[in-house]
Structures are given as C-alpha cells and as structure tokens.
Structure 1
Amino acid sequence: MSNEIDVDVLVIGAGPTGLGAAKRLNQINGPSWMIVDSNETPGGLASTDITPEGFLYDVGGHVIFSHYKYFDDCIDEALPNADDWYTHQRISYVRFKGIWVPYPFQNNISILPKEDQVQCMDGMIDAALEARVANSKPANFNEWILRNCGKGVADCFMTPYNYKVWAVPTTKMQCQWLGERVAAPNLKMITQNVILGKAAGNWGPNATFRFPANGGTGNIWISLAKTLPQKKTRFGEHGAVEKVDASAKKVHLKDGTTVKYQKLISTMAVDSLVEKLGDKSLVDLSKGLFYSSTHVIGVGVRGERPERIGDKCWLYFPEDNCPFYRATIFSNYSPNNQPQASAKLATMQLADGSKPSSSAAKEGPYWSIMLEVSESSMKPVDQKNLLRDCIQGLVNTEMLKPGDEIVSTYHRRFDHGYPTPSLEREGVLKELLPKLQDLDIYSRGRFGSWRYEVGNQDHSFMLGVEAADNIVNGAAELTLNYPDFVNGRVNSERRLVDGAQFFQSRKGIRTDDKPLKP
C-alpha cells in the first residue's frame, strides 16, 4: 500500500530556488510544507563535484555577488564564520590574437593592435551617429550589438563569443534580457583611453565576489539545507518525482509515495514539468523554448601556479583555436579547491598529449582550470574527443605549456545548461507560466521560469522566496516580473528591502488573489 502525505505547499527541487522557497516557508512558520529532490545532495546546478584525485569543480562558473540583503543573510547563516569565505577582486580578460584584453572587451580596445583599434573605433563612431537618428528598438541581440558596439567590436569579439556561449546565432536572440550583463561602451571614455594608451577599470556587479573556503559553491547549499527541518526534506531515491497530477493536486514519487498539496512550487525545467503533467497542449507550447547544453571540463596540473596565470579569475575566448568559451582558474578561488602539495599523484599525460617519462606518483603543488563548452542542435560538439580538444585549446591559448603535467581530468555534461533568451521566449512564457499558475503550480528557477537575466544564484534563491511569499500572503514576485528593478536599473542601491512596498504602490501588479491561509 502506497504512503500518502498531505502538505499545504510542496517544493520540487533542492537547488537555490527550491531551498529559497523552503527557507522562507519555514521562516513564516504557517503552512505545512515539504521539499523533494531526486539527488542525495542539495544544490542542483550550483553543486560541486570532487575528482578521485581531490580536485573540486563547480558545475559551471559560479561566484557569490548579491542584489538582496535577505539572500546575504541566509547564506551567512549557513556559513557564518569569517574563515568560511574568501573575497576576491575579479581579474578577467579576453584572449584575442595572442594578447590578454581586460574585460569588458568593448571598453578596452586601447589594448588591441592598432589596425583593430581603428576597425573598432570606426564601428563605434558609425554606431553612435546612427543611434542619434534611430526611431526603433533593436529587433534582436545582433542589432543591439551593432547599434551599441559597432561592426568592429561585433566582428572581433561580440558575435563570435556569444555564439560560443549560447550555441545559437545572435540574430535568433532577443535583447530585453541584457540589463547589467553586457556593458554598453562609453565612446568618449574609450577614445580617451585609446589616445592615452590606458585600460578601463573593473565593470559590472561581480567586480567583487565571495567564494566558500571549503567545499566549493555546493557547500553553500548543503549548509543551507541543514538549517531546514530534516523531517520536511526527502532527497535521493525517496524524493524523485514520477508524475504530477494537477487535477488531483498530487505528486507521485518513484518510491510509491503520493504527496497531496494545495500549491506546488516546481523548480525542475518547465519543459520537463509539463511532460510529467502529461498535458499535450502545454508540452507543445514548451517546445517554443530553446536551451543549450553545457560541458564542464576540469584539468588538474602539477606545479607552482605559473606567472602567466597569476591571480586571474575567469577568462573569455572568442576565437576558434579552442572549443571553450570561458576558463576559470578554479584553484585561485580557494587553496582547498585542489589537493594539498603533499599529496602524491601520478602524471596522467603531458599537455601535448604525450606520455610522461615516469608513472610514479609525486608530490605537488597543484593548480586547476575549469572550462565550459556549449552545445546545441545549431552547434554540435565532438563529445568523444572534447577533453582532448580542450587540453589542446589550453596549449593553443598558452594557458598550458606542452610539457605541463596533467594529474587529473574531469568532464560532465549538463543537458540543460543555459535557458536561451530566444526571440520566441517571451511569447511562450507569457502564456505558459500563467497557465501553470492557474493550476496552482509556480514554475520558478533558472529553467523553471526560463529567464536567464534572473538566473544567478541570488536571483534563483529569491525566485523561490518570493513564490513562497506570494502563496502565503499575495506579495509581488519582483524578481520574476521586474528583472530590471532587481538588477539595479531602477533601484540604484540594488538592495531590496522594501521593494515590495514600492511596487505595490504601482499599477499592474499581478499577485495571487487567493493567497494560502496559514
């Protein structure tokens, strides 16, 4: 006989969004709730893997920077000690024609060879002149690039790089998602820097960031999950979802348990959710959403961190001499992201692919690189040889020397890597998400709500928090509905404390008119 559980709110998924919802529901201490996840370890797409040799790799490039005090408070409760964290100033570059151009590329063309400076400046001047007479908004991301950066920057960096990231042409992407993620160039400042031969300073919300001292990014979410009542969590085989019955408001778990709910917060990918609902019309609608897959490659190296690597954090690669679009010097984030120098490891291969002269295990020290490669139907990947090709790309870009000793490798593919801001996205979401909410299903999170512009860890966490608040008391979901506001275009402080009250005073707020009564 199957077991049946009855709760007011069921949360599916223990990534940042699901844990945010659970944290808030527990804090409110009103409705009954439960959180389930098919993985034994919480964290979702913000978890961390450890290789047999002892190298840590996040499942993608994650750092902590925040737009929300509530988020800060919650993760500081999870990791409360000063020595739980390292704080870094971002040091990022773009690799272009064998030189390191400070990030963002479009603000630092003063570093480029003279002929490329001329090409980029010509394009920027033309774009600035055309912008004065433009009477329409850019129709897609490609037009946004040309209008803001000009053809030179587009050809040198923006177009090839974004194709490597998104695995779709920029002509097939909309541009409403951009917000604070792409720097619009300041032509006067760039001109001054070209003449004076100066580089621009740091830009962006993650110019300063935090990283856990131990356990990688995943340790944040493991620790936060421990602050929840364990009797309300079901992880692993007992938390795997088999089917969602929206009409009966029941979720059937694979172990035979049935969970009855009043409201459901689902953080699984929305295209997967509608499959489990078995609603053909919603499945067909979800097919208008596009995503790319992500390959995360890790390379552990023996030796002192070379001077050419220095204190670099993450690096961008627009050119075709390597398959990866981004490299993170993961060993620079924490000395505990790799084995201690006293650990004895055998050399697997040299960077040029040749065998080492000796197979005997030797001591370190060690350092590591984490790479990301995108894949889609429009950008296929040679999975069988991808690790080999990435190591060769590291040699091509002088990240590794041919004789460097590789002692550990890592490769993991994530089917849902990036939710693509395609031209069709908004049309689908404006129909799909409300239809689900009419069924008392809140689809939230990086792939639950499919909005990359609010897909960072802090955003994702708050999508869950705000869904819980909406369910319990009808509060506005600012992160879902007002990305520009939470990302700082309206709120210059970018610290949301009384944001809900601010927006409640404005017209057009969509809230649940039947909040759950505790």
Structure 2
Amino acid sequence: MTVTQPDTSVDVLVIGAGPTGLGAAKRLHQIDEPSWLIVDANETPGGLASTDVTPEGFLFDVGGHVIFSHYKYFDDCINEALPNEDDWYSHQRISYVRCKDLWVPYPFQNNISMLPKEEQIKCIDGMIDAALEHRVANTKPKDFDEWIVRMMGTGIADLFMRPYNYKVWAVPTTKMQCQWLGERVAAPNLKAVTKNVILQKTAGNWGPNATFRFPARGGTGAIWIAVANTLPKKNTRFGSHGAVTKVDAEKKIVTFKDGSTVGYERLISTMAVDHLAEKMGDKELGQLSSGLFYSSTHVIGIGIRGERPERIGDKCWLYFPEDNCPFYRATIFSNYSPNNQPAASKKLATLQLADGSKPASSEPKDGPYWSIMLEVSESAMKPVDHATLLQDCIQGLVNTSMLKPGDEVVSTYHRRFDHGYPTPTLEREGVLTELLPKLQAKDIYSRGRFGSWRYEVGNQDHSFMLGAEAVDNIVSGSVELTLNYHDFVNTRVNNERRLVDGAQFFKSKKGIRSGDKPFRP
C-alpha cells in the first residue's frame, strides 16, 4: 500500500537516541519550537554509549567510554541531567602499553626510556632519521603509515604504531589517511625523549583525556538515560514502534516496524549512513556509501573474584600491540566506579579458572569482585573466530600477566557491534564530500559516529554537538563547526563556547526560519 498521508507530522524528526540524537532533541527542546520527535528502535536510549549488565551484576559499557569535553554546552547538559556531586567520580588517567613484557607509560612514543636498551636504540635511530627527513620534506604524507614514519621513525612504527593500529582499525596503516589525527596521536619531541632515555625518566600525562569523569551508578549509559529523562515524553518514541523500516525522501515520510508513519520537514538521521541509504532504497546513495569502510567491535567483559591485585592497581585503560592476545585495549572497569560490580556480600559461583580449568567447587561464595573490559576489532582483512574469542581473550589476559592462571572467573560478557569504528580510509573524504551534501539537498542531515563517518569527531561530546549544531543549522543557518572544522573544535581554546539558550524560532509555510540570537562561534 502506498502511503500518501502520514499518521502524524513534525517539523524535525530525529532518528536514533544515542548521543547525537539526544543532542539534537535536547537543543530542540530548549528552543521549544518547532515541533519535533525523537525515535529509536531500542527501549533504552544511549546507542553505542549504553551499558549492559550481566546476570551476575557486572556492568560493562558497550566499548571504552569516558567523559572529557571540548564544549561547555555539553557539560551544561550532562550536569543538568546528573547534577549531584555524588553522581560522578573523577579520575586521573593511568594508562600503559604492554610491550616486551613491560608496562610502558602512555603515550608510548614519549616513554621509550622504559624499553630495553636494544629497543631504545632502534627507536632513537628511527626518530633521528625522521627528524632529518622532516627538515627537507616538501610534500605531505600520503597516508597514515607515511605520517607515522615521518613523525616517529621506523623503530616506533614497527614496535608499536603499526601493529597496534592494525589491531584497532583492522586495516593496514597504508590504507588510512592522516587528516583525522589532530590531538589523537602525540608527536614525540626528540630532545625530550632523548633526555628521558638518558635520565631513565618518564613523560607526564598527555592528551585531552588525562583527567576524566565517570558516572557513579549505571555506567556510561546512565548519562544518556538521564539526558533522555529531561525531554518531554510526548516527543519520544522508543522500542519497536520507533524502529525505522523505510525512509521516503521524496514524500518526506518515515515508516516504522509497527506500520505507523511520521512525516517531516527536516530529518536528522543518526543511523549508519550506509543503512540510511538502504532504508531510502536509493541505489546511487547506496553505491556511494559502499565506498566507506568500517570495522566491527567485540566487547568482552570478565568478572573476577578476589581483591583487586597490586599488579592492576589504579590502572584505567591499557594498550596491547603484540599478538599474544586478541584485544587491543583493556579497561579495568571496576576502577571507574565501585558500583560497576556486585557487592562483596553477593555469593557467586566460579565459572572457570583463568587457565580454562574447572574450579574445585561450584558452590557460590562471597566476593569481593573486580572486572576487566576488552575490545577486539574485526574486518574482512582481520577475521575473528567468534566461537573461541571469549576463551582466547581470557588466555590473552593470562599471557599478558593481567590474570593469574588460578584466578576465579565468575561472570563473562560478549557482545559484537557490526559497526564499531568508522575507518578514515584514503577514500573516505571523497565519498563524504559527495554523499552528505546529496542527503542534505533532500533535507536529511546524516550526523553522528556513523551518520557523518568522521572518527575524529566521534567521541560522546562531539557526537552530542553534531546533533545540537545540526538543529541550529536547520533553524538559523549556523555553521556546523564540529562536522566541518574538527581541528578547531578539538583545540582547548574552544572549551568555553556555549550554544545560545532561549533563542526564539518560528515556522513559515516554506519551512523553518530563525528568529533572534543564532549561534555564532
């Protein structure tokens, strides 16, 4: 049956209740006009920033998430949602790279002083060669691999950067561009590194997430549930009647799994843009989006009985470039909040010992408990054995001295996300510069981690602002800084900007226009 009139209509329809969709909805709610609706196929908001709970009571985020922000507006919104001091824990990042059976402080390239002497020499040699080459180079690196060699040399490239990034992205570094890097990769200072090698010192904390916040209760997902709770219920539609089955861009009608339809003037879609093209039934856009590459992510959670061991201490997240484990990153999730695992008084049975053997007794016993969360990437270039991955990861924890063979595993978690990382391949910009404008010409704003496919603005704060700024572009023509100027928004100088609250907007027969106080950077 061809739908001619939708069941209901709104000025702005938002698909997806992850950080991007909630950012758009929050901004629409603040504006109070035009009419709007946010929908999601899941009953619980959060998307790729949600949190799962195992039957035993261990919490695991669906990936490694922490809160650090480039925007005061983002801070204001999450502080409104979780306003109390005891809603949060604040942490200093304590991160290491596991290499040559040693813990090298993060970032690796600034702390080669911790490596064996032979490896130090290789790294320093490579850095000197890179520095000399950099002085005479008159072209930009053609790909990520060339950027690594030019900035750090072949020693660091072979020891850490190449193997680690392959484990993360599931493609070789030669197939990735380097415009996305910005603040995400520290370029080493040769003089400082050499000084630290001679003095056997480590470098201090680096990067935008050297300090971070984490919710006291409910994991990262609790943030987005709380943000969603600040929105009026009449403007939300979650669950099966929020599952999109079709997007008719010509008629501006979205059809849902339950058969209901919603018309719109503008559509903000946070679903993966390749899935959006499929829902639209648009062969041209589908062909375009097929040029975008992504990796899948497996999140593995391990709950362990016992006091947190001294070897774990206050570590936050850890990096693993070597092939003695399948995971590229481990998060000591129990260190983020004491509420991320069950109380010590809860009696749990031992499922297995870390070496894979059966426990002497299956009788439930008291805690205390602690937990580790692992991430494993997958692609056609880097396949994963799903059936053995959980056990392979537990063995990898033993191989890297994270667990002792006799440690008691009391809970396990494994969830795969088909779209895990939007890969900044060499072809990406060519696709996006054609694909996103074609969608916007149809009044569809494709935004978010996989909606706009830009990893460099894919953190929670970025994603939230992609939604908020899309709304301001719709109503006032404001520039979408996060989408278009990632180098600008990722600088600390940008940390003070807010979106104007209380702007007045009104509708016209031709669409939505702005009133006063549009956002300007």
* 2:56 aligned with 1:60: no
- The one-letter code sitting in structure 2 at the alignment partner of 1:495 is E
Distance 1:328 1:418 in 2: 18
User: CA shift at 1:257, angstroms?
Assistant: 1.0
Partner of 2:504: none
Using structure 2 for the length normalisation, give the TM-score.
0.95
Give the conservation status (yes or no) of the 8 Å contact 2:265–2:511: no
Distance 2:153 2:74 in 1: 38
Q: Deviations over 1:360-382 (max 9, x none)?
A: 00000000000000000000001
Partner of 1:436: 439
Secondary structure, counterpart of 2:387 in structure 1: helix
Secondary structure, counterpart of 2:177 in structure 1: coil
Distance 1:115 1:494 in 2: 42
Q: Deviations over 1:43-94 (max 9, x none)?
A: 0000000000000000000000000000000000000000000000000000
Are residues 115 and 284 of structure 1, via their aligned partners in 2, closer, same or farther at CA, if it must alter by over 3 Å? same
Matches of residues 378-457 of structure 1 in structure 2 within 5 Å? 378-457=381-460
Partner of 2:52: 49
- The one-letter code sitting in structure 2 at the alignment partner of 1:516 is I
Secondary structure, counterpart of 2:483 in structure 1: helix
Distance 1:515 1:329 in 2: 50
* 2:323 aligned with 1:320: yes
Distance 1:98 1:494 in 2: 39
* 2:7 aligned with 1:11: no
Give the conservation status (yes or no) of the 8 Å contact 1:295–1:372: yes
User: CA shift at 1:515, angstroms?
Assistant: 7.2
User: CA shift at 1:442, angstroms?
Assistant: 0.0
Partner of 2:506: none
Partner of 1:332: 335
Partner of 2:278: 275
User: CA shift at 1:196, angstroms?
Assistant: 0.6
Distance 1:482 1:497 in 2: 16
Of the candidates 222, 226, 231, which is equivalent to residue 228 of structure 1? 231
Partner of 1:353: 356
Distance 1:374 1:424 in 2: 20
Partner of 2:314: 311
Distance 2:37 2:98 in 1: 47
User: CA shift at 1:498, angstroms?
Assistant: 7.7
User: CA shift at 1:161, angstroms?
Assistant: 0.1
Secondary structure, counterpart of 1:165 in structure 2: helix
Partner of 1:33: 36
User: CA shift at 1:493, angstroms?
Assistant: 4.8
Give the conservation status (yes or no) of the 8 Å contact 1:471–1:515: no
Distance 2:210 2:511 in 1: 39
Distance 1:39 1:368 in 2: 26
* 2:519 aligned with 1:516: no
User: CA shift at 1:497, angstroms?
Assistant: 3.4
Partner of 1:497: 498
User: CA shift at 1:254, angstroms?
Assistant: 1.1
* 2:124 aligned with 1:128: no
Could you list the runs of 5+ residues in structure 1 that have no partner in the other structure?
500-513
Distance 1:495 1:469 in 2: 18
- The one-letter code sitting in structure 2 at the alignment partner of 1:241 is V
Q: Deviations over 1:393-441 (max 9, x none)?
A: 0000000000000000000000000000000000000000000000000
Give the conservation status (yes or no) of the 8 Å contact 1:325–1:372: yes
- The one-letter code sitting in structure 1 at the alignment partner of 2:338 is P
Partner of 1:210: 213
Using structure 1 for the length normalisation, give the TM-score.
0.96
- The one-letter code sitting in structure 2 at the alignment partner of 1:224 is V
Partner of 1:163: 166
Distance 1:143 1:260 in 2: 48
Partner of 2:300: 297
- The one-letter code sitting in structure 2 at the alignment partner of 1:181 is R
- The one-letter code sitting in structure 2 at the alignment partner of 1:30 is E
Distance 1:457 1:378 in 2: 28
Q: Deviations over 1:199-233 (max 9, x none)?
A: 00000000000000000000000010000000110
Partner of 1:177: 180
Could you list the runs of 5+ residues in structure 2 that have no partner in the other structure?
501-509, 515-521
Give the conservation status (yes or no) of the 8 Å contact 1:78–1:227: yes
Give the conservation status (yes or no) of the 8 Å contact 1:48–1:217: yes
Partner of 2:379: 376
Give the conservation status (yes or no) of the 8 Å contact 2:131–2:151: yes
Distance 1:431 1:29 in 2: 33
Partner of 1:485: 488
Distance 2:47 2:498 in 1: 27
User: CA shift at 1:496, angstroms?
Assistant: 2.5
Distance 1:370 1:190 in 2: 31
Distance 2:297 2:390 in 1: 13
Give the conservation status (yes or no) of the 8 Å contact 1:49–1:59: yes
Q: Deviations over 1:453-504 (max 9, x none)?
A: 000000000000000010011111000000000001xx635333389xxxxx
Give the conservation status (yes or no) of the 8 Å contact 1:470–1:515: no
Partner of 1:504: none
Distance 1:472 1:516 in 2: 6
- The one-letter code sitting in structure 1 at the alignment partner of 2:377 is S
Give the conservation status (yes or no) of the 8 Å contact 2:488–2:494: no
| Percent identity over paired residues | 79
Distance 1:493 1:251 in 2: 37
Give the conservation status (yes or no) of the 8 Å contact 2:241–2:257: yes
Distance 2:498 2:241 in 1: 37
Secondary structure, counterpart of 1:516 in structure 2: strand
- The one-letter code sitting in structure 1 at the alignment partner of 2:264 is Y
